[in-house]
Structure 1
């Protein structure tokens, strides 16, 4: 599997976790999504570092929320 596809799968898993277990954090999903590149949806045009950054932001939001005891 291509690296960007692996990262997208991880993003989907974390996003689903947030949606199912921390619905109050969904408001942050659209804010962090702005870090993803715009334009064509072709996989060739997606920068893996942008995807990694987005994945890390999602994890950070979720983990920080969990650490605060919510």
Structure 2
């Protein structure tokens, strides 16, 4: 998991059944979320990853520190 800009977090290695709501629910404990975007290609079973954008950069840092490697 890495930070993309001050408030956005890259989340890699997601399962193919993840959706925007489940990812939002998982990260909501860290702060208010502006946007969630999931990218996957189910037809080729390529990588599934996403971005979570928080209103506060501190929330992104907290999420990375707590969730990295999980």
Structure 2 length normalisation: TM-score? Answer: 0.31
Structure 1 length normalisation: TM-score? Answer: 0.31
Q: Tell which structure's C-alpha radius of gyration is larger.
A: 1
Which structure shows the bigger proportion of residues in strand conformation? 2
